[in-house]
Amino acid sequence: MHNITVKVCMGTGGIAAGGDEVLAAFNREIAAAGIAASVGKKCSAHQVGCRGLCAKDVLVDVIINDSKVTYIHVKPEMVSRIVKEHIIENIPVAEFVAGDDYHNFHNKQFKVVLSDCGSIDPEDIESYIAVGGYTAAQKVLGSMSPEETTDLIKKSGLRGRGGAGFPTGTKWEIASKQTSEKKFLICNADEGDPGAFMDRSVIEGNPHAVIEGMIIGAYAIGADKGYVYIRAEYPLAVERLKKALDDARGRNFLGKSIMGSGFNFDILVKLGAGAFVCGEETALIASIEGQRGMPRAKPPFPVYQGLWGKPTVINNVETLANVPYIVRKGPEWFASFGTEKSKGTKVFALTGKIKNSGLIEVPMGIPLRQIIYDIGGGIEGDRRFKAVQTGGPSGGCIPADLLDTAVDFESLAKVGSIVGSGGMVVLDETDCMVNIAKFFLEFTRGESCGKCVPCRIGTKRLLEILERITKGEGRPGDIALLEDMSVDIKMASLCGLGQTAPNPVLSTIKYFRHEYEAHINDKKCPAGVCRDLLTYQVISEACKGCGACLRACPAKAITGDKKQPHVIDPSVCIRCGACFDVCKFKAVKKE
């Protein structure tokens, strides 16, 4: 009996899958077995942050003398067996152990930001310190000038991970050169893209890395006050962040004369009220100031006039979390990953019709195909891949023939999409691209702040046209109108929201024009998604007359005698698809 560590995934995903109960069960079983008493401090079971593959939660690592075994889909009732067989008898419970797909998912990744997520206890500052935490801040504050710090980040080639990809070192440099008695550093944790949870996972899994990054950034630019602007919908992240801030203050990593350096800095947490647009930096500033979260025109940029009119640097969570690792391992190390213009790694939230959906970190420049097939394990149900939508609602759809596109700022822009904050939604043959465009427009139209005309009214009109196309009311000329409007809205809108909102429309028209044409000209939805365009028919030859469809039809649109082919009356049919789903003989045809 030696060193025993049990790590239970307790990010939001892990807790939702029952991580709490699993951890409690381990503690209970270990105590009952008397292991803790016999092994003492060398035995512990603790929570860790998300390690990415939420689809297989609750994930549990059992580490005995550096030999790690990972269990998937752990339920409390499985715990006693794991304790008995694995911990006591040292025979892993083979039927619960993660398989190849779990390891493939991880092995193809390269982790910087997430390197300690899922391994350390996010609520224990000692756990972060034990893996080298706060040594970067100590080094910077103790032995480097602000200029040297900025230079170091510049040399690393780090670019903002929030979407625009502005070089972080340059931003810091501009801010550091502003003469102002007051400057601010804001961490933007208002992650609002649908399906994105990169920032949340980082804060839940390793909040101290973000804090340490902020200390270094604040020192570089000369700010004595920082804010973390975080969504109120992230209660666990907020709780862990606040605890981490308290612990950091307790260790004098924050506050007056941090670690005796003479540098003062502290961080306030500001909760966002759920407006997507508050992720835009000027709207975020307005929100902190107590104003309605509406963006304002730039220039002047926040680095010149930001919060309360003072020079303000706004960095994304992931950007800041990179900083301590860059300082610790050197800018050359960081710059050795990625492409010429896009250095380092990027975290993505891989979702949609993919087998291994979850959080991944990959070096910049990796081909899309590797992400989807090697890490993601391919398409669910082995259907045909159709497109991948990157960059959240502002991004574009990339079709199958561009799957070898490299994932970096420049390459994705070239094919009409963006890296964005790191959303990646995989679409397959059962997805209608017009409907996908409509989905994203519904989101941006609802989240437009209403300040500028092209976004406020333009997104509404785009959506109206997409709606009529999916209803079979599309008109000749609609595609051209959509394209014209999209171009104008992009060019005329005030902030990033409006400037990118038409991207899903433009990129789906670019790569899937035939689907639009089918909707408008033939009144057909090739993917069989747009309900108003579907027709359901019984194939007489295949119908056995079992009556299952007749019973399932809520509209009483199906008639037919027993053992005789049934018939669907299209004027009564509401196209719900119940007959299609219920037919065992594939006798219902959907077009």
Partner 1 sequence: MAKIKIDGIDTTVAEGMTVLEAARNIGVRIPALCQHPKLTPFGGCRLCLVEIKGFPRPVTSCTTPVSDGMEIVTTSPTIERLRRTVLELILSDHPNDCMICEQAGACTLQELAYEYGLRENRFAGERRVYEKKDGNPFIERDLEKCILCGRCVKVCDEVQGVEAIDFGYRGFDSKIVTSFEDDLNCEFCGQCVSVCPTGALTGKQWAKHGRQMGVKETDSICSYCGTGCTITYHVKNNDIVRVTSKEDTLNEGWLCVKGRFGYKFVSSPDRLKHPLIKKDGEFREATWDEALDLIADRLKKIKREDGPDAIAGLSSARCTNEENYAFQKFIRAAVGTNNVDHCARL
Q: What residues make contact with partner 1 under the rule CB under 8 A? A: 275, 292, 294, 296-297, 299-300, 445-461, 464, 481, 484-485, 488-489, 491-494, 499
Residue 336 beta carbon to partner 1: minimum distance, rounded to whole angstroms: 31
What CA–CA distance (Å, rounded) separates 171 from 563?
A: 75
Kindly write down the DSSP assignment for every residue of 375-401, as one continuous string.
IS-SBGGG--EEEEEESGGGSEEEEGG
Residue type, 442: E
Closest CB 398 distance from partner 1, rounded Å:
23
Minimum gap (Å) between residue 39 Cβ and partner 1: 57
DSSP 305: S
Minimum CB separation from partner 1 for residue 498, in Å? 9
Instruction: Tell me whether residue 79 or residue 449 sits nearer to partner 1 (CB atom).
Output: 449
Nearest distance from residue 275's CB to partner 1, in Å?
Answer: 7
* Of residues 285 and 548, the one with the C-beta less far from partner 1: 285
Taking residue 314's Cβ as centre, other Cβ atoms within 10 Å add up to 26
Beta strands in 177-224 (DSSP E): 184-189
| Pairwise CA distance, residues 194 & 188, whole Å | 16
Beta-bridge partner residues of 71: 60, 97
Structure-block tokens of residue 443: 């989101």
Is residue 434 within 8 Å of residue 516, measured between CB atoms? yes
Pick between residue 294 and residue 550 the one whose CB is nearest to partner 1.
294
Q: What whole-number distance in Å separates Cα of residue 380 and Cα of residue 356? A: 9
Q: How far is the CB of 434 from partner 1 (least distance, A)?
A: 18
CB nearer to partner 1: pick between 299 and 381: 299
- What are the Cα distances from residue 354, in Å, to 42, 351, 409, 588? 40, 6, 23, 28
Phi, psi of 373 (to 5 degrees): -95, -40
Tell me whether residue 1 or residue 297 sits nearer to partner 1 (CB atom).
297
Pairing mode, strands 43-48 and 4-9: parallel
Closest distance of CB 179 from partner 1, Å: 17
Q: Which residue's CB is nearer to partner 1, number 226 or number 458?
A: 458
Question: H or E element: which one contains 61?
Answer: strand 60-64
* Complex with partner 1: residue 223 or 452, whichever CB lies closer: 452
Q: What is the smallest separation between the CB atom of 213 and partner 1, expressed in angstroms?
A: 29
Nearer to partner 1, 164 or 236 (CB): 164
* Rounded CA separation 558/566 (Å): 7
Asked if residue 358 lies in contact with residue 350, where contact means CB atoms within 8 angstroms, the answer is: yes
